[in-house]
Structure 1
Amino acid sequence: MGKYKEAEEQLERVLMIQMTIYCPSHHNTIYTMRLLASAISARGRYSNGGKVNKEALTLAKRVLGDGHPDNLTTKSDLASILGKLGDFAESESLHRQLLAHYQEVFSNDKPKVIIARLNFGVALEKQGKFLQEAKQLQEKSFNGREEVLGMKHPDTLTSYFNLAQVLHAEQQYDTALELYRRALDGLERNPGVGNPVTIACREKKVPLEQTIHGQSSA
């Protein structure tokens, strides 16, 4: 956390200087605001990070346009922060916009489309809605990442985990558990046992194992 606090303080100083030299709507200022929002959010201060990110997104849309890469990245960052704040509906809306844009620009096997599809599927799953749509999105993301990145890549393993969560919600327990185990086995190696995704996967897998064991013992 110390490095993020230091980064936040440095970025705040840079932003103050840029506000003086340039203006709030300058490209460099918007970029620094986005970095500052990320540094704030990395310390768990999602509400504050979201506020800065919204300001950056408003400026980016006005100055750079909807399709500019920096605007899209800022929108993706904000969608992630809103998800952590529990504002799943707004997070879903932003992820839906991003997916629609990337699908217009790139083919379906490109990493940006795969990641956007994955994030949108997660946003749907978090709300417990459109399970079939979420499942289809996660399966497409899973297949795309496996083909592009390989089975052992952390992003592919994260796709295993996300698809497992959708299947878990559909009460397809055996299949979900198999995917949890496959994901956890790889995630514990890379990025490691202390990674938040690895921890979340373990916390999903263990209770499901107990549920299945209880059903088989009954």
Structure 2
Amino acid sequence: MSGCWGGDHPDTLTARAGLADFYARAGRTGKAIVLLEKVVADRERLLGKDHPDTLTTRTNLAFCYAQAGQPDAIELLEKAVADCERSLGEKHPGTLTAYANLAFFYTRAGRTGKAIVLLEKVVADRERLLGKDHPDVLAARGYLAFSYTRAGRTSKAIVLQEQIVADCERLLGKDHPDTLTAHANLATSYTRAGRTNEAIGIEEKVVAGRERLLGKDHPDTLTARANLAFSYTEAGRTGDALVLQERVVADYERLLGEDHPDTLTAHANLATTYTREGRTNEALARHERVVADCERLLGESHPDTVTARAGLAASYAQTARTSEALILRERVVADRERLLGEDHPDTVTARASLAASYAQTGRINEAVVLLEKVVADRERLLGEDHPHTMAARADLAAFYVQAGRASEAIGVDERVVADHERLLGEDHPDTLTARANLAISYARAGRMSNAFVLRQRVVADRERVLGEDHPDTVTARASLAASYAQTGRISEAVVLLEKVVADRERLLGEDHPRTVTARSNLAGLIRAVEAKQRGRPRRGDSR
């Protein structure tokens, strides 16, 4: 095209900008940046710094910088927004698009409060200027729902997303790609809300719809399969998840190439599922590969590389290589503090993981101190009711138990249970987990009756909510068996633990770490029963 019109022709610059957008969508962010930097310079020279096309290109360049993990990308986006406000006005469509882009990266950086304020303004302005049924209005509502979800306001996100689905079906039809995307986003929120069976039902339809409309190899179809695999994992269907994720990895490698960012993400997700399946050596090898690929392709300091190291550290921890996990997690904390800042959500999460490594290596007092800081940071940055804040409190209670501070643990756990019941409902899977954790604290504090009653409730609730074969349900039975043993009801403990062993052999396989643990616990109980029987006086013997 430059040969027809010349390198400075407006259509040539537009074509280059379009090619840069294509590179960015294909994961080739570096090439997109190089091209956009030239287009920005050319448009500034030919059209002026304040021309709408120049401002749009500068905004797109800042967006790519953010995608590439450049530390000052948000500041560049903020400057681009300010330029749009000054030159175009706050209500101009280009300014509203700049607001939406900035809000997206605010959300990714954990600054969800600022993102929500911006997006609520974008939605209101677009509704007033374009009408409630305009596609750009639907898109803005979708971004707002995403920010609500990331802020822990899942119920609000679901209400908005259900409305978006209804609007898309009415305006675009059930088979429109945007309608399928709306369904997929709703399913993601259902998964976060613990409504995994509903999420799976929607995602299976989305996969089928995209295969029919877009083709089996379309990138959106691959994304839909990856999302479905994640929901299978959350529902305890790790076998189904594994089959689907292995297919997703193979498809990404074939269609996008081994070095595409989406391919690397698919490898990391597969490694996580291998860990859940007890295939820890395969998980470790895959995580090591992802780290090496990220370092080679993105650089040692790219945020995605640091995230890959965090995944590798988790695999080290799972395979009892606790010292290596500790060293790597210390590096991840230092890298994220340097690259993202001390208050970034990913930095705080890295500290929580480091605290877990301290606990695993016997440095429990350091673990407690660090996790108390994590709780305080999340309360300050995310709010007291955010899911990540509640999760940190639950972890802190577990560390208190490990440190012999069971009374303090009970106080924290009781608050966590109450918060989950209030915010998520009595039957949410996270609420059931909170009750299971409280039962552990009761048992460690010697309150065996309280622990026993609560564990019975958790078993019944998980059987009803998750199903009898869900891994968390089987774990609840194992905990109840422990309560039987702790209260002297050894025979009942043996019967229940025999069921746990049989279930884990059937569901996870005979060599899965959880199966091995259950079998070991059962053997210990049987030995205790035999010892008790040997110690009983025979009929006619003196006592």
- When normalised by structure 1's length, the TM-score is 0.81
How large is the RMSD of aligned CA atoms in angstroms?
2.9
Match of 1:170 in 2: 487
Secondary structure, aligned partner of 1:151: coil
| Partner of residue 32 from structure 1, selected from 342, 350, 357 | 350
Match of 1:82 in 2: 400
CA contact (8 A) 2:394 2:412 kept: yes
1:179 maps onto 2:496 in alignment: yes
Structure possessing the higher radius of gyration over alpha carbons: 2
- Gaps of at least 5 residues in structure 1 are none
Aligned in 2, Cα 1:161/1:211: closer, same or farther, shift over 3 Å? farther
2 CA distance for matches of 1:193 and 1:51? 34
2 CA distance for matches of 1:101 and 1:143? 21
Match of 2:367 in 1: 49
> What is the Cα deviation at residue 17 of structure 1?
3.6
Match of 2:529 in 1: 209
> What is the Cα deviation at residue 43 of structure 1?
4.1
| Partner of residue 452 from structure 2, selected from 135, 142, 154 | 135
Aligned in 2, Cα 1:116/1:83: closer, same or farther, shift over 3 Å? same
CA deviation digits over 1:108-150, x for unaligned, max 9? 2221111111111121122221x33322211111012222333
CA contact (8 A) 1:79 1:90 kept: yes
CA contact (8 A) 1:183 1:201 kept: no
Partner AA of 1:95 in structure 2 = D
| Partner of residue 91 from structure 1, selected from 385, 403, 409 | 409
Match of 1:124 in 2: 442
> What is the Cα deviation at residue 199 of structure 1?
6.1
Partner AA of 1:181 in structure 2 = E
Partner AA of 2:454 in structure 1 = L
Q: Which moved more, 1:65-74 or 1:2-11?
A: 2-11
Secondary structure, aligned partner of 1:86: coil
Secondary structure, aligned partner of 2:427: coil
Partner AA of 1:169 in structure 2 = Q
1 CA distance for matches of 2:504 and 2:485? 19
Aligned in 2, Cα 1:201/1:9: closer, same or farther, shift over 3 Å? same
1 CA distance for matches of 2:393 and 2:427? 22
Query: Between Structure 1 and Structure 2, how many residues are aligned?
Result: 217
CA deviation digits over 1:31-61, x for unaligned, max 9? 2211222333344543333332122112222
> What is the Cα deviation at residue 159 of structure 1?
1.2
2 CA distance for matches of 1:202 and 1:44? 27
Fraction of identical pairs, as percent: 21
2 CA distance for matches of 1:138 and 1:84? 20
- Gaps of at least 5 residues in structure 2 are 1-315, 539-543
Q: Which moved more, 1:36-45 or 1:61-70?
A: 36-45
